[in-house]
Amino acid sequence: MRQTGRIRFASLGSGSKGNATLVSCGKTHVLIDCGFTMKEVTRRLQRLNLEPEQLSAVLVTHEHGDHIGGVGALVRRYKLPLYTTAGTRLTGRLNGEVPDWRSIHPEHPFAVGDLEIWPVTVPHDAREPVQFVLGDGQHRLGVLTDLGSITPHVVRHFSRCQALVLEANHDPQMLAVGPYPPSLKRRVGGDFGHLSNDQAADFLTQIETTKLTHLIASHLSEQNNCADLACQTLAAALNTTPDWITLANQEEGFGWREMQL
Ligand SMILES: [Zn+2]
Ligand SMILES: [Zn+2]
């Protein structure tokens, strides 16, 4: 059976203190976001048996610190192509020289090596944020975090994925009684903030999930959510058990998953 060419994916860590998702297909290795320092991202890549020089490209979804912390240093050191929207670039948050900066247009697919990539516009409080669907011609992986609400546009693009890395950021009641100041509660819970467990579950009832074989709950708030609650809520929407759902956490992310034929 052919082993190369299949999509594999993993996370280096997920949450408000730093995010990075790794997607591989054959010898193509794409890092989506990098909210970790060079030293830390190197350590976390090595945990997944990959060296930073093996990366093919870095994609950035938006300019928030938990997604761009280590991007500049990483692309400079290893001369990696960096893909962002023009809006993300114009914020100037990615400081320092970038040797090979490539602008992407939302809704215009592009390829990196063996991966075809569709950037999808999402409602989030950044300049021109996107999330990504990645495919190899047979499989589709959706990476969908950092959005405050579900739009018909998002439903259309993320339907029929075999794998989803999906934000389940907070439980609305925990957020309401939690330690955040009122302004931050409004931001997180608003239409341009982050998805609650219930919103993520509702999204799962709206998309076509007959081909879904991997679901990873991601970008959980350490203050305003708990893992069991997130998994239970998502599982109920799919009529499955919570242990079917994988959890991405801040320290470990999650290990390699492979798309099956
Ligand atoms: Zn984030
Ligand atoms: Zn964000």
pLDDT, tens digit only, all 261 positions of the chain: 344 568 999 999 999 999 999 999 999 999 999 999 999 999 999 999 999 999 999 999 999 999 999 999 999 999 999 999 999 999 999 878 999 999 999 989 999 999 999 999 999 999 999 999 999 999 999 999 999 999 999 999 999 999 999 999 999 999 999 999 999 999 999 999 999 999 999 999 999 999 999 999 999 999 999 999 999 999 999 999 999 999 999 999 999 999 976
Whole-prediction pTM: 0.96
Residues 6 or more apart in contact with residue 161 via CB below 8 angstroms: 133, 140, 141, 142, 207, 211, 212
Tell me how far apart the alpha carbons of residues 90 and 77 are, in angstroms, rounded to a whole number: 22
Q: Which ligand is nearest to the CA of 147?
A: 2
Residues 6+ apart with CB under 8 A from 183: none
Parallel, antiparallel or unpaired: strands 57-59 and 28-32:
parallel
**Dist. CA 254–CA 256, nearest whole Å:** 7
For residue 151, report the distance from its CA to the centre of ligand 2, in Å.
17
Q: Ligand 1 center to residue 66 CA distance, Å? A: 5
CA 197 vs. chain centroid, Å, equals 16
Cα(146) to centroid of ligand 1, in Å? 5
The helix/strand count (H/E) of the chain reads as 9, 14
Helix (H, G, I), strand (E, B) or coil at 107: coil
| d(CA 206, ligand 2 centre) in Å | 23
Closest-lying ligand to the alpha carbon of 193? 2
Distance (Å) from CA 63 to ligand 2 centroid: 7
Distance CA 225, CA 227 (A): 7
